[in-house]
Structure 1
Amino acid sequence: MRMNQSHYQIAPGHWEQGGATVTAAGVNFCVFSRLADRLDLLLFDHVEAAAPFQIISLDPRVNRTFYFWHVLVLGLPDGTCYNWRAAGPCDTRESGCRFDPGKALLDPWATTVSDRLWDRKRARVRGDNLDSAMRAMVVRDDYDWEGDAPIHVPMNRAVIYEMHLAGFTRHPASGTTHPGTYRALIEKIPYLLQLGITHVELLPIMAFDPQDVPPDTAGRGLTNYWGYSTHSFFAPHPHFAVEQARARDEFRDLVKALHRAGIGVLLDVVFNHTAEGGVDGPTINLKGLGNEVFYHLDFDDRRLYRDYTGCGNTVNCNHPIVTRFLVDSLLYWVQQMHVDGFRFDLASALARGEDGNPQYHAPLLWQTELSPYLHRAHIIAEAWDAAGLYQVGDFPGFRWAEWNGRYRDLMRAFVRGDPGLISEVATRLAGSSDLYEARGRLPINSVNFITCHDGFSLWDLVSYDRKHNESNGEQNRDGSDHNISWNCGVEGPSDDPDIVALRRRQARNFIAILMLSQGVPMLLAGDEVLHTQRGNNNTYCQNNALSWFAWDQVQANQPMLNFVRGMICLRRRHPSLTRDRFLTGQIESGRTLPDIAWHGVSLDAPDWDDPEARTLAFTLAGTTEEEPPLHAMFNMGEEMQAFAVPVLPGRRWLLAVDTTTEPGVFPPDYPASLVSGCIRVGPRSLVVLEAQGSREVGVRSSPQPTG
């Protein structure tokens, strides 16, 4: 576009709202910079313009209020692109400032950005990068939500589906019109509905830097695919839009469509670090405007960054200005973009005070928890960071849910066949009360998962003992070595039918256990069709079929897909699996049986203290007289076991789940094969029975596990 005049008149503007705000008079620009001596606003005709058509130098006597710089450009149309330039001290050892008057800086409050000109290498050295910087765009906000609002599915009823927005439709077999975009995901909503999930948890969709990868990785033509390299906390990622200038509205279209289908939207938020990296990282925005405020810097030499994230820098998120900035971002995504909640990457880094030490009353965490405008938004913490702070079960706050890494590790070991875990397995199945109950928290504080984006996929978990990340270009040094996996006898692909059958059974075991556990289950997209990453447990840079959802495998792995759907359906029709309070093993008021009774192969005899035990069973009462009890039996040993089954006078047991079979999940009214009050459970498998009828019956209780 071309502006209708070469220069626009200006007025002082205001400081109340960061970013570019379209008003009746023009566009108000505002940005924070505490120690800058001079700020220039650069205006461009379009995102690829070689030079600005107007440069506005701000007068600190007129255009600065406290530490916010502002100006109103009269009559400026939306569609204008802009950057900031900041001059000031660069005595990095003493003040930590990194002002560079040659750098074209991206507005940290920008809601629409473009990186078409972006060159990360140019931004890493001092001097002018006007022709290779990211740019922000002025966009008028007149979106029609058509009555949409954030939805509220209670966490105890949630089934979360973690997915990469673009990777879900990038595969050539996806059949979408614009693969890898917000629009493409709308076309796949029927699939999500059939699967039965309640929320999608999207890997980072805030604008990030795809060029942020190590040199050897970049040399292989690989880019930052996952997106854990955010630079703009208010802008949707432009590469996921069909039209980059409409990225914000295209994302809104997606949210609105998901809400119409009854599906909530959770965002994976990366507040712990940014794409600007460490000392040798690029200057994009925060470094050039307020490096000494926005980042944790070394106490003795403020040229250096304190790195609690493993990514070169750590956001100083509990500084008052930074806390406001980040909370404003969350409010924006809830109020203006209608998202339903957030998962916070390396959230323990957000608990660190300005001195770097953990704080229980960390301002950012508590302002997020207690904000009246965020009280209906789900908030989930990855309760650890890369510097050794591990807070699973002890994350600050009360409402925060946590990725339960202890659940993941224990269930992997249990299904692998590790002995002597029975007591803790029962505790994890029952919602991890040992972690949460003493502090007044609930089963919904535990987000249970077996796999996630970071690590093996489900099929690789049962197919590999070791990571195989050579294709990432880091000599297989990247990614975790602690996978707690088992390859079932052969490393990697196998055409041995017995090994393939065992792997499929193990995969079904994991999904069944996940759906039978109290707490909030989270699935990794692709696990339901046994997607493989060929042993790569760190596909952060693999924007290719290694990471993309394998739509060409949906039909071939239909039995597994049906099993996952069936287990979600079983969970949804049994409120006893989604309790909002911890199980007690006691008979509740007005009831005739305990909420749960624990067993081993014999009734009332769980092997809490047997160091060789690999078997566990429980009987779970319904929450109402209409809900039938469930009886689950787990045999992770190598021999078939005969489990005693409780007698329910006037009722009979139906077979609901048997992971030794290819269907795995059975339709209602399928009779169980009981012999002398027992049922045979095959090696490395589990069976679930469902009582026919609705009247409560007596079931003997047993001692409870600790916790």
Structure 2
Amino acid sequence: MTDQMTFADHDGDAAGPGGHPLDVTPGHPQPLGTTVDADGVNFSIFSEHATRVDLLLFEHCDSPRPYRTIRLTPDRHRSFHFWHCHVRGLGAGQVYAFRIDGPRESSALGTRFDHRKVLLDPYARANINSRWERTAAIGPGDNVEQCMRSLVVDLGDYDWEGDRPLRVPMADTVIYETHVRGLTASPTSGSTHRGTFSAVIDKIPHLKSLGITAVELLPVFDFDETQVLRTGPDGALLRNYWGYDPYGFFAPHTGYCSSPHLATHITEFRDMVKAFHKAGIEVILDVVFNHTSEGNEFGPTISFRGAANEAYYHLWPQDRSHYMDFTGCGNAVNANHPMVTKFILECLEYWVTEHHVDGFRFDLASELSRGPLGYEMAVPPALWAIELSQVLAETKIIAEPWDGGGLYQVGRFPGKRWAQWNGPFRDDVRRFVRGDAGLVGDVASRLGGSADLFAPQGELPTNSINFITCHDGFTLNDLVSHNTKHNHANGEADADGTHENYSWNCGVEGPSDDPEVERLRVRQIKNLLSILMVSRGVPMLLAGDEFRNSQGGNNNAYCQDNPVSWLDWDQAEKEKETLDFTRRLIALRRRYRTFREPHFFSEHLNSRLLPDITWHGTRLHQPGWEDTNARVLACTYGGFDGDPDLHLILNMYHLGLDFELPEIRGHRWHRVLDTARPGPHDILPPGHEELVDGPTFHAHGRSIVLLAALPDEKGT
């Protein structure tokens, strides 16, 4: 049997499932993907150099072979770069895929057509992978019986109940980064459909009680979680857990659906978004437009490679059969090709208009600024199209401003509206809190919104996403419990993951039953969280940090779909002090506008005739900028927008020290926060602040203190 025999060469009337007639007409080239109307379904796919496109129709998700193959001919079904047809009699739920033929991989064009491989629709709104075998998509031969298939989805039939975008100001935003499955996969979560979009809803009361305003979900686009990356030391098969390897950019991940066989992808995702919005929480998606699951020339043919390899990917100009790789994942998306820019923009706008998503975090976003030959572009069309899109104008757009090819753009990322993950904030604060000396100038800049990074470009503190931890690296508990990473379970001989974590184990590596070590670790966690929440910019909290979730020292748990990465909700009961502190700390940030001011510190006097901020050390006006041994910093904030004057003390020296306090006429200093004190006395509520006697304050070693200048009721 030849490959050619797998195709049908006819067009026109034919019988569909159950004998219903299928009338095939040329249809329309736009929009791409599938469009359901009263009579049937329009199909359209981009393939500039194809010579033949076949549309495969399957009766069921698990049907081994299509019941009908419709051949699209250039004279009837092609408009410029688009192949299209309309099939009367079809509707939502139809299972389909494509085969495409054209110049083979030896072509100088860089194409990799292989008509034996069955392709997903790049614009598919849902996919089914129940028969998927990755190896069949890599090796030679026909993979129709082991292919993934796409589903026709009717987007119109959903009751949003009046849901609207929340549009929380960036300056007031507090982000909570989490993995959809990891949030509830553990039996300790108490969820019925653990690890799904539906189960996430169960944790909304917890997130709301924290005071976060936005949840940032690790990738929810369809990815191949069946791919075995390697075998762990215990023989366990290690698979793609994080999801940074997508193939279905318009489709909610099948593995996060409780009933994917019922094509509930769209409904389950929308239900989750609607529930978050009812709780006043925005939804930000972590999106991966820098590479795809197809990998390099040895990877599988899933979709893009078989339709327009030369358009979607960066190829080496000397040999276009090989892929440039600026991501560390085998390929790099050619984001600034006109068609790919169109694809990215339409994808983002789709998630906003059809699913009410509030924003996006772009993984390895600097890769999207690379031009056709891989060089950095001064004005990359893809990034500017996103920034200037009317549909995306009210959304949050956040860049991870580096890539795997060495491009690092913190503070100089193209555009003005982009917020950026602030790696220097993470590193400077970690080093300072563990006790490294000579960092007070850097820490002062981080407290103020990193003007050294963002002000030269005319940007604001709200361009800075401040974080101590994220999915990539130690958890907060592990940061204060481990000096070195422990990634042996990843099966790479502990060679993977960041080697320098700027961590300190407080004297004991790993778990400890020493009460003094544990008290110090709790204090260090409070110190790190406090700096995060009192700094200008946008704070981001890693899921589970609020109750000391641990990954056992693994700082690269990308392949650990098991309790290593799943949140242990029993910790929320065991670590109530840290959890309550986090809640009250976020409330403290809301209480004082000073910390949320969307501008850098200014030398101008405010209404109280004080500057925005004055800097100190243990002695007033002596911050020790040039002191290479300095481990302390203090500052006085002039009252802003109704706030009292505030005085912040950061003592990262191991011993307690006395700090001079400025005199504020008619006011006396009161303690609001002190990380050296046990909960609930570490943060005091309004009206219960404690008076500080005398012109100095003794700050315990490795502690942070916040004082507020309140009116002197005695008039002294």
Query: Normalization by structure 1: what TM-score?
Result: 0.96
Given the alignment, which residue of 623, 637, 643 partners 1:606? 623
Output aligned runs, 1:196-595, within 5 Å: 196-216=211-231, 220-244=236-260, 245-588=263-606, 590-595=607-612
CA separation in 2, counterparts of 1:241 and 1:211? 15
Contact 2:231 2:237 in 1 (8 A): no
Q: RMSD in angstroms over aligned alpha carbons? A: 1.6
CA separation in 1, counterparts of 2:236 and 2:165? 41
Task: State the AA in 2 paired with 1:156.
Answer: A
Deviation at 1:213, TM superposition (A): 4.5
Q: Which residue of 1 aligns with 2:3?
A: none
Matched, 1:32 2:46: yes
Q: What stretches of structure 2 of length at least 5 have no aligned partner?
A: 1-15
**Residue identity (%):** 50
Matched, 1:128 2:151: no
Deviation at 1:216, TM superposition (A): 3.1
Contact 2:175 2:539 in 1 (8 A): yes
3-state SS in 1 of match to 2:53:
strand
3-state SS in 1 of match to 2:573:
coil
Given the alignment, which residue of 653, 665, 677 partners 2:669? 653
CA separation in 1, counterparts of 2:425 and 2:248? 33
Deviations 1:382-420 (A, max 9, x none): 000011111001101011010000111110110011100
Contact 2:211 2:586 in 1 (8 A): yes
Task: State the AA in 2 paired with 1:587.
Answer: L
Deviation at 1:241, TM superposition (A): 1.1
CA separation in 1, counterparts of 2:669 and 2:527? 21
Contact 1:33 1:69 in 2 (8 A): yes
Contact 1:208 1:229 in 2 (8 A): yes
Q: Which residue of 1 aligns with 2:77?
A: 63
CA separation in 1, counterparts of 2:210 and 2:103? 56
CA separation in 2, counterparts of 1:375 and 1:28? 30
Q: Which moved more, 1:217-226 or 1:187-196?
A: 217-226
Deviation at 1:676, TM superposition (A): 3.0
Task: State the AA in 2 paired with 1:367.
Answer: A
CA separation in 1, counterparts of 2:711 and 2:269? 46
Contact 2:671 2:692 in 1 (8 A): no
Deviation at 1:221, TM superposition (A): 2.1
CA separation in 1, counterparts of 2:308 and 2:519? 57
Task: State the AA in 1 paired with 2:617.
Answer: G
Deviations 1:2-31 (A, max 9, x none): 933265120101011111110112000000
CA separation in 2, counterparts of 1:671 and 1:272? 50
Task: State the AA in 1 paired with 2:434.
Answer: R
Task: State the AA in 2 paired with 1:267.
Answer: L
Q: Which residue of 1 aligns with 2:692?
A: 674
Contact 2:668 2:691 in 1 (8 A): no
CA separation in 1, counterparts of 2:632 and 2:461? 24
CA separation in 2, counterparts of 1:81 and 1:671? 64
3-state SS in 2 of match to 1:180:
coil
CA separation in 2, counterparts of 1:190 and 1:556? 19
Evaluate the alpha carbon distance shift between residue 232 and residue 694 of structure 1 in structure 2; reply closer, same or farther with a 3 A threshold: farther
Q: Which moved more, 1:464-473 or 1:443-452?
A: 464-473
Contact 1:118 1:132 in 2 (8 A): yes
Contact 2:171 2:462 in 1 (8 A): yes
3-state SS in 2 of match to 1:522:
strand
Deviation at 1:287, TM superposition (A): 0.4
Q: Which moved more, 1:219-228 or 1:560-569?
A: 219-228
Output aligned runs, 1:100-111, within 5 Å: 100-111=114-125
Given the alignment, which residue of 201, 225, 240 partners 1:186? 201
Evaluate the alpha carbon distance shift between residue 52 and residue 436 of structure 1 in structure 2; reply closer, same or farther with a 3 A threshold: same
Deviations 1:539-596 (A, max 9, x none): 11111111111111101001000111111000001111011111113313x4422111
3-state SS in 1 of match to 2:222:
coil
Contact 2:434 2:504 in 1 (8 A): yes
Q: Which moved more, 1:122-131 or 1:516-525?
A: 122-131
Task: State the AA in 2 paired with 1:617.
Answer: A
Query: Normalization by structure 2: what TM-score?
Result: 0.95
Aligned residues: 693
Contact 2:229 2:239 in 1 (8 A): no
Output aligned runs, 1:630-645, within 5 Å: 630-645=646-661
CA separation in 1, counterparts of 2:192 and 2:126? 23
Evaluate the alpha carbon distance shift between residue 311 and residue 436 of structure 1 in structure 2; reply closer, same or farther with a 3 A threshold: same
Deviation at 1:671, TM superposition (A): 4.6
Contact 1:216 1:474 in 2 (8 A): no
CA separation in 1, counterparts of 2:583 and 2:638? 23
Contact 1:653 1:671 in 2 (8 A): no
Deviation at 1:505, TM superposition (A): 0.9
